[in-house]
Structure formats: structure tokens, C-alpha cells
Copies of this chain bind each other. A is one copy, B any other.
Amino acid sequence: MIKEIVKIIENTKIKRPLVHAITNNITVNDCANIIHAAYGAPTMAQDEREVEQITSLCSSLALNLGALKAQDAMLIAAKKATELNHPIVLDPVAVGASILRSDTGKMLINNAKISVIRGNASEIRALAKGSTTTKGVEANKTDRTTEENLEEAINMVCQYSLQTGSVIMMTGAIDLISDGKNTAIFRGGSEMMSRITGAGCMLTALTATYCGANPDKCFASAVTAAAVMNVSAQIAEKRVRELMEGTASFRTRLIDSVSMISNEQLFENVRFEILKK
């Protein structure tokens, strides 16, 4: 798998995919910069009058439920990307926290072929089970993936992947990525990820970047994004601790690390296993 990750990254550097991201205003700059960091080219157009044309020029589409006002634009872009067979990565931000978000999430899933759904434990569970414990952008304590509920969580993402036909990425202290047959389990990353805004949105944008250059390998692209993000977060945290810096520097150094990550850094630091069903 590590060889496949390296190929995914190399391929992205060569193809420099144009990524269309319709995302929230809070973290849109971070998302654009992380797409650049991974050698993609971002376009964040979200006017419903032009998104069909814009998405047609691109290689992949990222949809972020935080962009609620761009609901119509998201639907138009999602339909067009489905028609063109572009990978679509959906980030169901805070789904379950309001009826509007739940309805918008369902609407997008029902009207487009979603390649990857990337959310935290509360968001993925809200979609899969219709539970309503989401309290915002962070996962509820009871939902989080731990060593104790790991088996149940793996079965859940696996089943939800089979049900939707999408790769499911349920991320947090433990990340689970499943295509219904294989489930990757990542431990590692950095606790500082939860002290900044946008870590999840950036991971979604990064996933869309790798998918854009590798449209037939969405599971491997999702695994690559999680690997790059986790290792980059470890490197960033180490540097921030050494220099006695804080959370804003961590954000900067996280994107820095994504922009500079080497195969050696990946090989040395990445920790994951893959379960096959």
C-alpha cells in the first residue's frame, strides 16, 4: 500500500489537477492553500450561474456542507461532476446539528455519485444511522472512535460504504477509511489538530486533490490524504513544540509540511494497518 501512496502523490505532482471546491468561508483559504501545497490548483467558484462551466474544467469536486448558501451551486456542480465521472468528495460538516444540514446532505447524496464521504464520527454516524447527537463541528465524546468501540466502528463504516457505494472516511484520533472490503486504520496524527479550525475541511480538500489526479483510485487517494495529513501533523507539532509556538503556528506548519513532505518522511512516520473483509 505504501508504494501505491507514493504513486498517488507522484501522479498528482505530474498532473497538477484543477480541483473545484465549494466550501465554507471560514476555512476556504486554508483549503485553497492545501490544494496548492499538494501540487493541485484550486478553484473555489460557488456562483450557481457558473459552477457548471467551472466544474467542467476541473478534475474533481469537493463539496462542504458548511457552504449552505451555495446549496444550489453544490447541486448543479454535483450533477455535472457525476455526469462527467469526476470524483466527488463530500464533507458533511455538522450534519445532524440542524435539519437544514441533514436535508442538504441527503439531497446531495441522493442526486450525485459521491466517491468519498469524509467526516468526523458524529457526522458519519448521523448520516449512517440518522442519529442526531452532532453538536457542531466537533465529534461528540460518545461517538468518537476508541480502542473500545473500534470493532463496531469498523463494521459501521464498512456497511455504510457498501450501502452508499462511497469510500467512507471517518476521522478523529483514530481514522477509519473503508471501501466496504478494505478498511484502513490510522493511529497517530496530532492532538493539536483539534485546537485549530479547518483540519477536517483541509483533509477533504486534500482528498479531492489526490482523487482528481487518480480518479480510478479513490480509496487509495483517501488513504494517501490521511497518511500525508497525519504525518504532516506530527512533523508540524514536533517543530511547534521545539520552537515553543502555539496553535496558529501549528496551522501554518501543517500546510508547510504537506507542501514539503518526502517519501522518507512518509515511510518513517506513517502508522496504519489495512483490514480485509
Contacts and interface: CB of A to CB of B under 8 A. Distances in A.
Contacts of A136: 18, 41, 43, 54, 57-58
A135 interface: yes
B97 A57 contact: yes
A96 to B, nearest CB: 11
Interface string A31-55: 0110011000111110101100110
Contacts of A41: 136-138
A197 B32 contact: yes
Interface residues of A, number: 56
Contact of A97 (B29, B53, B101): B53
A57 B247 CA distance: 25
A42 B28 CA distance: 16
A26 interface: yes
Contacts of A36: 195-197, 247
A135 to B, nearest CB: 5
A29 B198 contact: yes
A247 B33 contact: yes
Nearest to A18: B136
Contacts of A251: 33, 248
A25 interface: yes
Contacts of A47: 68-69, 100
Contacts of A26: 28-29, 32, 44
Contact of A29 (B27, B138, B258): B27
A108 to B, nearest CB: 16
A253 B256 CA distance: 12
B247 A137 contact: no
Contacts of A18: 135-136
Contacts of A245: 253, 256
B259 A255 contact: no
Contacts of A24: 44
A266 to B, nearest CB: 15
A244 B251 CA distance: 16
Nearest to A135: B57
A47 B41 CA distance: 29
Contact of A249 (B32, B94, B195, B256): B256
25 contacts: A25-B44, A26-B28, A27-B29, A27-B32, A29-B197, A33-B247, A33-B248, A33-B251, A36-B247, A37-B247, A42-B137, A43-B94, A43-B136, A45-B68, A47-B68, A47-B69, A50-B68, A50-B100, A53-B97, A195-B259, A246-B258, A246-B260, A248-B259, A249-B252, A249-B256
Give 4 closest A-B pairs by Cβ, nearest first: A246-B256, A248-B255, A50-B98, A246-B259
